[in-house]
Amino acid sequence: MKGYTSLLLNRWDRLKDEQKKMMLEQVNHDADRVTRLITELLDISRLELGRLVLRRQLVDVRDVATLVVEKVSMDQPALDATIVVADDVPKVYADPDKVEQVLTNLVENACKYASPTGLRIEVQLGDQSLVVSVTDQGEGISAVDLPQVFRKFFRRDLSKPTGTGLGLWISRGLVEAHGGELTASSTQGQGTTFTFTLPMVDLDEILSRA
């Protein structure tokens, strides 16, 4: 980032427009990556100390899923995701930013480790909870690696140049902070499904406490 910004500041008139555009795109990409790393470090600290604060409100998970697909597709133009939401799905009382963070991590992981095509995001009403799943059509996760995917710093594909091995660990912590759970199931050669739940709460009871 520093190298590109220095070039842009000192040699602006000597650079071609396409060079400027390339440098600015890279700076923007790296800035997003640094922001994510900082957010991950803060999340780790808050989760470990039990100081995570949820800013809950009524959330339409369909809207969150649509937003996540739109954002991820900017970096993954080949992303082909189907969003399926059951008719009886209500809004859920949750922190919209944290729900978006969890869903973004699951979709990005599917693109990175499986395939950006054939992705399915499904939202349905479970037993006193909202159930959200992300299913890919990749090669699946081995029986050896599957129990490890939520472990801090675990990376099942070390050949990938990005990733800290913290995303799933943080995502599980964010879901559990809501009172839900995040799980994974996979069949080799048939893909992987990550599923998280968000408990339905009695809003009348919450309002009576306010």
pLDDT tier at 108 (50, 70, 90 boundaries)? Answer: very high
State the DSSP code for 66.
H
**Fold (CATH) for 57-209:** Heat Shock Protein 90 (3.30.565)
Half-sphere exposure of 158 (CA within 13 A, CB side): 3
Rounded Cα gap, residues 29 and 76, in angstroms: 13
CA distance 59 to 61: 6
Residues 118-139, mean pLDDT to the nearest whole number: 94
50 or 192, which is more confident: 192
Angstrom distance (rounded) from CA 97 to CA 53: 12
What pLDDT does 32 receive?
A: 73
How high is the pLDDT of residue 157?
63
Query: How much is the pLDDT for 104?
Result: 94
- Per-residue pLDDT tens digits for 154-186: 876 655 545 667 889 999 999 999 999 999 999
Domain range summary for the chain, segments of one domain joined by +: 2-49, 57-209
Strand 119-125 with 81-85, pairing: parallel
Question: pTM for this structure?
Answer: 0.79
Nearest of 82, 86, 88, 85 to residue 118 by alpha carbon:
82
Q: How confident is the model at residue 202 (pLDDT cuts 50, 70, 90)?
A: low
